[in-house]
Structure 1
Amino acid sequence: MKNIYTKHLKTVYILIVFLVLVAVSSIIILDENNKVEPTFSMQSNIVNNIIPKPLNYESGEGAFTLTKNSSIYVKGNTEEETEEIVKIAEFLKEKLKPSTGFELKIVKGNNVPSGSIYLTTVGANKDKGNEGYEVITTPENVKIIGYKPEGIFRGVQTLRQLLPSDIEKNTVTADVKWTIPVSTIKDKPEYEYRGVMIDVARHFFTVDEIKRQIDLAAQYKINKVHLHLSDDQGWRLEIKKWPDLTNIGGSTQVGGGPGGYYTQEQFKDLVKYAAERYIEIVPEFDMPGHTNAALASYGFLNKDGQKKPLYTDTKVGFSSLMTDDEKTYEFIEDIIREVSEISPSKYIHIGGDEADSTKKEDYDYFVGRVSKIVEKYGKTAIGWDPIDTSSKINSSVILQNWKDSNEAARAKNMKMIISIAEKAYLDMKYNENTPYGLDWAGYIPVETAYKWDPTDYAPKELVLGVEAPLWTETILNTEAMDYMIYPRLLGYSEIGWTPKNARNWDEYKNRLKSQGERMKNQGINYYKDENIWTVEKK
């Protein structure tokens, strides 16, 4: 019995010693100079949880650690390109600083020391295109290489997702080790147009509110923000020749609120802010229907010469410009000319939907003539269906397809932006309990929003890309906007970026789950789908 008892004591003693050693090792770490270093929380970021999913991801052993001594090195093929990459480095620095507290140095050159990040276009493959990139991470360095600076910027968004999710906090987090897993990522987009639309006509949103949405969308490689700038309830962009469009037409919104508008200087500021994130602002002025704000601003746009009453309800299809009056086209040309001067986008969206008060032959003539005015100012016209059914419209115009009907566009070989309402409308409720939004096109749960492809609706060679529109009849503030956009926009970004054969809902759902903490850290009021995230019951 004594021998057995002694053996048990020895066993217990060894176990206690082992547990003590483990506890001590979790409290201190000795560096190579035998100095005591504090431990760090090692957040799990070793799995590819990137959204949109990269084309190719190869993992390796080990990790790169970002420290206060790290620098960002930049090198372009030309001095001009180097300066552009410097701005991307400044963007990255500002994104990393709040949570790390690091004041990373930016250095021009390619003699990159260990512990640094290197952004370059030197030696990049042309086949990656303007937005393609590689992120090559070793224990010593991170290299992001793109054929164009735009590709480097897309790679920077991937880099942010390779870091622990605390990187998105806006206060210094001292107990996190800022590691990036050793890996090689090669990536480029499937479609060139990946957009989100914000309706600022039904409810107006300020410059800062739109900038915030631009910044959030950019991290998921969205490259177009389409602003719906006019509708029955409001006109939102200053037109200097016709000031009453904003003085009167911009004075209200759905429900009769205060409305608002952007001056041309504010619009240019928005365009610049978006361009720094390689996002193109696409301006839209809806016509010949959805025009009551204009009709209420100027009497000459109406047959009786009288201004229409301002409108604050949500009914559609009742308003129309006069399609047989030259004053109408002179007015439209003034708008397109002024907008062309302040908008570098290659596109001007001319609306074209729900013109129920316009005769078909008048509609056909009108959209054809307006598209030619757009072309006159060096822009490409985009229009909602049924613009493709006009005999005056050809393949020089792009169809934004929101109904499952585009036979005319196919026959004319028109490029299309796929925005099918039943799949892509961000204002559709998730389910019957959603506190915002509408349901006329049905409910769009997160899974439904992800499980479709543009080629379900058009031949791939005609698909320019995808866009998710947020109509704002019921969206009054940023909280509601966040809720309806996120997390569905992440799925739409992946549909536009990642090839169909590389996408799978069950696998995507796991990556989306990991994004929840990042969205929370950024203050996004996202919809917490109980099929993806565990929601605490109140």
Structure 2
Amino acid sequence: MALPSVVPAPASIEADGSAPFALTSGTPIVAAAEITDATEALQSLIETRTGLRLDTREPADSAADARAIVLEIAGDGAAESYRLDVTEASVIVSGTDAAGLFYGVQTLGQLVEPAPGGWQIPAVRIVDAPRFAYRGVMLDVARHFHDVATVKAYIDRTSALKFNHLHLHLTDDQGWRLQLDSRPLLTEKASATPVGGDPGGFSTQDDYREVIDYAGARHMTVVPEIDLPGHTHAVSLAYPELSEEPVLSDHIREIVRDYGGELPVNRVPYDGMAVGFSSLKIRDEATNEFLADVLGEVARLTPGPYLHIGGDETLGTSAAEDYDYFIGRVSRLAASLGKTPVAWHEAGTATDLEPTTVGQFWGYVEPIDGMDAKARGFTAVGSDQGKLIDTLAFPRAAAAAEAAWSPAAGASELRTWESFAARVGALAPLWTSQGIGFTPLDGIPWAVEVAAGADRGDA
């Protein structure tokens, strides 16, 4: 018997082929008043998918809760874990904590399917918990600026796949995207340019707080990146005295030749694709004051534990000892601000690196081209980098989510390409109803929903 399709694959899923739970407009959601995130998420999921707006009520006796969807926090088990039991009589989602309940609701939303004249949820029992505690996606708002509404939509899409960290790449050669009171010229003079002439822009501090709060309600931690000491051409527009002249290597000229645009010029806005040419003045005291202002303010604005300091592709930094000095100093500065420093894998070569620093491979989820040698001494994580968003991130994000959440490949019969392709293909109707403009890649059997399956507003 075929199992219901769930992505990422759960730790355990069983179905016995018994009658499904009939979902109608009269189905209540039963949850304690303090369970708001999961309740609101489930209401939104079901309404978007089916057109049904389910009422909520607080728990009563068990008889009164029959024919209901029950949400509860059980308080035992691994962090972020949940159980989901669906029978013909009831649906019970039980989370160890609020995050686990939220993720159980996301799984339940994937199970909703059309039935003759209405909607149903197949009878199933799922016991689930994450493989990795840190499950992150990246959104680059520096090369292409995205407003608050777009970032919030990305949070909705990725938290539904059980990602729990959002890495915001806030600064790069093309633009500076976060307004800072201590250094107002960064957004006044360095936020207008993106790659390829798209609209620029920046987030105010209120915008940034709104994103953090929205992410937090979906159990996602924001990880801000201020990319240093390279990827800092935008700084030259606001504080030219802090920037070295661009280093125009053959590689930089090749990128410009292949992708178009102009060679970078200090103090001139840049919208090209090349990277690695820029650098701050490493040992200048004015640079140290700039770093203290910028990182100190970002740390104060960010409640999460991480502060990403970049450290990648620093071809414009004059000497290895300068890079080593800079990364050591800045990683210690981040730690002194009460944050866990995060840096790209190249920072692993620094001999004076703050010991608590977390390393991140920027190329792939596994190191290539000697990345692992550079990342010595790190606790390391991979990255799923999302840019232009739906068409490039989906279904790619689903594959990354499966690697981050599900049992290891070989530990579950679901962790095969054939299983994943079938399960992610079955999400097409849900993603379409949510307005996700995914790329329908060849080799995946994308489901097409029969219109007669759903009377979208009726019991």
TM-score interval, smaller chain: 0.7 to 0.9
Contact 2:421 2:445 in 1 (8 A): no
Distance 2:144 2:36 in 1: 37
Alpha-carbon deviations, 1:152-197, whole Å to 9, x = none?
A: 000000000111179xxxxxxxx75221112110000111122211
Structure 1 residue 121 corresponds to structure 2 residue 73:
yes
Q: 1:153 aligns with which of 89, 92, 102?
A: 102
Matches within 5 A, 1:184-199: 184-199=125-140
> Displacement of 1:254 after TM fit?
1.5
Q: 2:436 aligns with which of 518, 524, 536?
A: 524
Q: 1:417 aligns with which of 381, 394, 406?
A: 381
Contact 1:298 1:307 in 2 (8 A): no
Distance 2:435 2:54 in 1: 24
User: Aligned AA for 2:296?
Assistant: R
User: Aligned AA for 1:232?
Assistant: D
Distance 1:388 1:382 in 2: 11
3-state secondary structure, aligned to 2:193: coil
Structure 1 residue 94 corresponds to structure 2 residue 53:
no
Q: 1:105 aligns with which of 55, 59, 63?
A: 55
Partner of 2:392: 484
Query: Which protein shows a greater Rg?
Result: 1
Alpha-carbon deviations, 1:103-161, whole Å to 9, x = none?
A: 42322335342111111113x423x22x1100011222111111111100000000001
User: Aligned AA for 1:377?
Assistant: L
Partner of 2:14: 58
Distance 2:375 2:178 in 1: 33
1:98–1:533 Cα change, 3 Å: closer
1:468–1:165 Cα change, 3 Å: farther
1:534–1:279 Cα change, 3 Å: closer
3-state secondary structure, aligned to 1:62: coil
Q: 1:400 aligns with which of 352, 360, 384?
A: 360
Partner of 1:447: none
Distance 1:535 1:118 in 2: 29
> Displacement of 1:395 after TM fit?
3.6
Q: 1:363 aligns with which of 323, 346, 351?
A: 323
Partner of 2:313: 354
Which 10-residue stretch deviates more, 349-358 or 176-185? 176-185
3-state secondary structure, aligned to 1:240: coil
Q: 1:162 aligns with which of 91, 103, 111?
A: 111
Distance 1:519 1:390 in 2: 44
Distance 2:276 2:114 in 1: 46
Structure 1 residue 286 corresponds to structure 2 residue 227:
yes
Distance 1:255 1:165 in 2: 43
Distance 2:443 2:54 in 1: 40
Identity of aligned residues (%): 35
Contact 1:67 1:115 in 2 (8 A): no
Contact 1:66 1:115 in 2 (8 A): no
3-state secondary structure, aligned to 2:439: coil
User: Aligned AA for 1:154?
Assistant: Y
Contact 1:49 1:514 in 2 (8 A): yes
3-state secondary structure, aligned to 1:145: strand
> Displacement of 1:507 after TM fit?
1.6
Distance 2:195 2:45 in 1: 36
3-state secondary structure, aligned to 1:258: coil
Alpha-carbon deviations, 1:361-389, whole Å to 9, x = none?
A: 11111111111111112111111121011
Structure 1 residue 135 corresponds to structure 2 residue 135:
no
TM-score w.r.t. structure 2 length?
0.85
1:111–1:193 Cα change, 3 Å: same
User: Aligned AA for 2:352?
Assistant: K
> Displacement of 1:391 after TM fit?
0.2
Partner of 2:261: none
Distance 1:115 1:303 in 2: 68
1:68–1:535 Cα change, 3 Å: closer
Distance 2:51 2:271 in 1: 48
Looking at both structures, which has the greater relative contact order when contacts are Cα pairs under 8 Å and sequence separation is at least 6? 2
1:303–1:93 Cα change, 3 Å: closer
Distance 1:396 1:328 in 2: 24
Runs of 4+, deviation exceeding 6 Å: none
> Displacement of 1:307 after TM fit?
6.9
User: Aligned AA for 1:64?
Assistant: F
Distance 1:530 1:307 in 2: 44
1:278–1:259 Cα change, 3 Å: same
Distance 1:99 1:469 in 2: 28
Distance 1:165 1:187 in 2: 25
Distance 2:381 2:114 in 1: 33
Partner of 1:245: 186
Structure 1 residue 468 corresponds to structure 2 residue 384:
yes
Distance 2:440 2:199 in 1: 32
Number of aligned residues: 416
Alpha-carbon deviations, 1:181-235, whole Å to 9, x = none?
A: 1211000011112221111111111111111111111111111111110000000
Structure 1 residue 72 corresponds to structure 2 residue 29:
yes
Contact 2:130 2:406 in 1 (8 A): yes
Partner of 1:274: 215
3-state secondary structure, aligned to 2:427: helix
Q: 1:225 aligns with which of 162, 166, 174?
A: 166
Partner of 2:343: 383
Q: What 5-or-longer segments of structure 1 have no aligned partner?
A: 1-44, 76-81, 167-174, 419-466, 476-480
TM-score w.r.t. structure 1 length?
0.73
Contact 1:69 1:115 in 2 (8 A): no
Contact 2:346 2:374 in 1 (8 A): no
1:176–1:372 Cα change, 3 Å: farther
Contact 1:348 1:374 in 2 (8 A): yes
> Displacement of 1:409 after TM fit?
6.6
Q: 2:295 aligns with which of 331, 336, 351?
A: 336
Contact 1:289 1:317 in 2 (8 A): yes
Structure 1 residue 215 corresponds to structure 2 residue 156:
yes
1:193–1:326 Cα change, 3 Å: same
1:110–1:498 Cα change, 3 Å: farther
3-state secondary structure, aligned to 1:334: helix
3-state secondary structure, aligned to 2:327: helix
3-state secondary structure, aligned to 1:196: strand
Contact 1:90 1:106 in 2 (8 A): no
Distance 2:446 2:169 in 1: 36
Distance 1:395 1:148 in 2: 31
